[in-house]
Chain A
Amino acid sequence: AQTVTQSQPEMSVQEAETVTLSCTYDTSESNYYLFWYKQPPSRQMILVIRQEAYKQQNATENRFSVNFQKAAKSFSLKISDSQLGDTAMYFCAFMSAMTNAGKSTFGDGTTLTVKP
């Protein structure tokens, strides 16, 4: 079974600064996807970024980028130029590419507060 660990339950950052959220996972599979989801106070789950395990290049989406270290099974999220609207809970998720209806395993989340 896969596990996803987010070791930082809470983090805070000053507006315009950069913050990195940690995520490690455990799997014996070689093909999989990794995701970061954002859940603001509205409780909506919003996809932030995704990474295919077979791609060596780190994914980026505007101010969001990941540091994917496959050998270390690490998948951290870097948020640059933090904005107040980035305040949310962030979930790291793993999905196997092996099945035809992917079962996602989510981490326990990191609550990020961006301070003005």
Chain B
Amino acid sequence: DTAVSQTPKYLVTQMGNDKSIKCEQNLGHDTMYWYKQDSKKFLKIMFSYNNKELIINETVPNRFSPKSPDKAHLNLHINSLELGDSAVYFCASSQVAGQGVETQYFGPGTRLLVL
């Protein structure tokens, strides 16, 4: 009965490869997010989707492409991986309600290592 799940948990790959990380939430939330946490543990938002529509797109290389097939899923595809892409990627979801947005629930993270 995991609320926000991500696969895979760990991903080790070579530079130049293309990889995807999947995220699913079973909370019935309208909004989903991708965050990147670098080696210094700084947490930065990358994207957010509301009802499958892109809402926030921070300054992220266009090698990163989110895809939301439905409001319960937000996948992250990364092309031509670079060493600097090594990080922990967190998916999160929240529900729009009342005044603004409710609390975000985070997935367990995907640790990406690019060699």
Are the CB atoms of B101 and A97 closer together than 8 Å? yes
* B61 within 8 A of partner (CB): no
Among A31, A54, A100, contact of B96 (Cβ-Cβ < 8 Å): A100
The interface residues of chain B lying within 8 Å CB-to-CB of A54 are 99
* B5 within 8 A of partner (CB): no
Nearest 9 pairs of A and B residues by beta carbon:
A97-B100, A102-B101, A45-B106, A101-B55, A101-B50, A106-B43, A101-B48, A101-B31, A97-B99
Question: Footprint of A on B, CB under 8 Å?
Answer: 31, 33, 37, 40-45, 48-50, 55-56, 88, 90, 92, 94, 96, 99-101, 103-106, 108-109, 111
Are the CB atoms of A109 and B103 closer together than 8 Å? no
**Chain A residue nearest to B31 in the complex (CB):** A101
Are the CB atoms of A103 and B56 closer together than 8 Å? yes
In the assembled complex, how far is the CB of residue B59 from the closest CB belonging to chain A, in whole angstroms?
12
The interface residues of chain A lying within 8 Å CB-to-CB of B111 are 43
CA distance A104 to B100 in the complex (A): 12
Residue of A31, A35, A97, A100 ringed by the most chain B CB atoms within 10 A: A100
In the assembled complex, how far is the CB of residue B55 from the closest CB belonging to chain A, in whole angstroms?
4
CA distance A98 to B40 in the complex (A): 30
Residue of A37, A42, A43, A95 ringed by the most chain B CB atoms within 10 A: A43
The interface residues of chain B lying within 8 Å CB-to-CB of A37 are 106
The interface residues of chain B lying within 8 Å CB-to-CB of A44 are 106, 108-109
| Contact count A vs B, C-beta below 8 Å | 79
Are the CB atoms of B105 and A47 closer together than 8 Å? yes
**Chain A residue nearest to B42 in the complex (CB):** A108
The interface residues of chain A lying within 8 Å CB-to-CB of B37 are 43
In the assembled complex, how far is the CB of residue A16 from the closest CB belonging to chain B, in whole angstroms?
27
**Chain B residue nearest to A54 in the complex (CB):** B99
Residue interface bits A84-116, CB-to-B below 8 A is 1, else 0: 000001010001111111111110110000000
The interface residues of chain B lying within 8 Å CB-to-CB of A95 are 100-101, 104
17 contacts between A and B (CB under 8 A): A32-B100, A37-B106, A43-B37, A43-B108, A43-B111, A47-B105, A50-B103, A54-B99, A101-B48, A101-B50, A101-B56, A102-B31, A102-B100, A104-B104, A106-B42, A106-B43, A108-B40
